[in-house]
A and B are shown apart, each in its own frame.
Chain A
Amino acid sequence: MKEWDEKESANGMEMDVEARLVRELRQLDREVPDEGSPGLSELEGLVRTVQARQRQALLRDLLLFWGVAALVLGVVFCAAAFALVPYLAAQLLVTVGAAAACALKLASGRKAAAHEQE
């Protein structure tokens, strides 16, 4: 019975805190004026400025991507044109290396799955 009373009193106190919180914060909502907010035209200006900045950043990233891609392709074409044998050897090495890495990864995955089943 005592335990039940304590529980009831704790619940009652929690309700009091909630009620006080809500009451005073509602008062705050009423007392804070809305006038300080920016006007429609100011917000429209802000939206246009942020959108323009985003477009510029996107364009810069795109140009950077194309620049790096053109550089890599240029190097590859130069290598293929002026030193065909080393170029082909490098291609072969990269392909074999990638295949070996894939095979190793696959094998380790299977091993882990078998270990889990055990």
Chain B
Amino acid sequence: MTDSSKLAADISMGSREALARKGSPEALASLLHEHYPFLKKYLIKLTLSLPHAEDLAQETAIRAIEGIRSYRSEAKFTTWLLQIATHAFLDDRRKQDRRSRWLRAYRDSERLRLQQACPGLSIELLEALEALSVEHRAAVLLKHYYGYSYEEIGTMSGVSPGTAKSRVHHGLARLRKELDAHEGMG
């Protein structure tokens, strides 16, 4: 049994968070280990790509380690982690958009691979999600799948609650339009 697993078994979540904030590597590693699958699955839904989600999950873990002292216990650890992941995703996509078109082709192939890995997920929904802007996709997922409030979504994406609400509304409308278009073609 490693130090971290002993720690996870011995002490509560709140104490682990307090220890992690004080700089304990065991407590922080144990918290990250516990939340890593949740974080990765959130990033898969955002990026629609397994390897890209993996890269961003690592980037999020590094940013979380660097910024653990700024974490406040008023927010849940998962909320804080999703906030960092959302920022990492938006930063990454802004950088990517400045690069060449082949990345778009790569994203298309990654989407197909994700659909093959998860047969329960329809290609129509994946394409409809891909058609949303990254900001709208994040807002729709955080609201309708994770159940966060507009205030929390605003904090996570660095915008006002009103903007978050508008992104959710427009995102959902676009999603419906895309799904309708797919059904029309079918």
Q: Which A positions have Cβ atoms within 8 angstroms of B?
A: 13-14, 17-18, 20-22, 24-25, 27-32, 34, 36-41, 43-44, 46-48, 50-51, 54
Contact = CB atoms under 8 A, between A and B. Distances in A.
B33 A40 contact: yes
A21 to B, nearest CB: 6
B120 A30 contact: yes
Interface in B144-159: 144-145
B29 A43 contact: yes
B139 interface: no
B33 A24 contact: no
The list of the 5 closest CB pairs from A to B, nearest first, reads A27-B120, A44-B29, A43-B29, A31-B118, A47-B25
A17 B145 CA distance: 12
Interface size class of B (residues with CB under 8 A): 35 or more
Contacts of A27: 118, 120-121
Contacts of A31: 117-121
B18 interface: no
B172 A18 contact: yes
Given A18-B172, A22-B144, A31-B117, A44 B122 contact: no
B176 A38 contact: no
A43 B3 CA distance: 12
Nearest to A44: B29
Interface in B26-51: 26, 28-30, 32-33, 36-37, 40-41, 44-45, 50
Interface centre among B29, B33, B141 (most CB of A within 10 A): B29
A21 B125 contact: yes
A14 B175 CA distance: 9
Given A21-B175, A40-B33, A44-B3, 16 more contacts: A13-B176, A17-B176, A21-B140, A24-B120, A28-B41, A31-B120, A37-B36, A37-B37, A38-B36, A44-B2, A44-B29, A46-B29, A46-B61, A50-B65, A51-B25, A51-B65
B120 A28 contact: yes
28 contacts: A17-B179, A18-B144, A20-B179, A22-B144, A24-B122, A25-B45, A25-B121, A27-B121, A28-B41, A28-B44, A28-B121, A30-B120, A31-B117, A31-B118, A31-B119, A32-B44, A36-B54, A37-B33, A40-B4, A40-B29, A41-B2, A43-B32, A43-B33, A44-B29, A46-B65, A47-B25, A47-B29, A50-B65
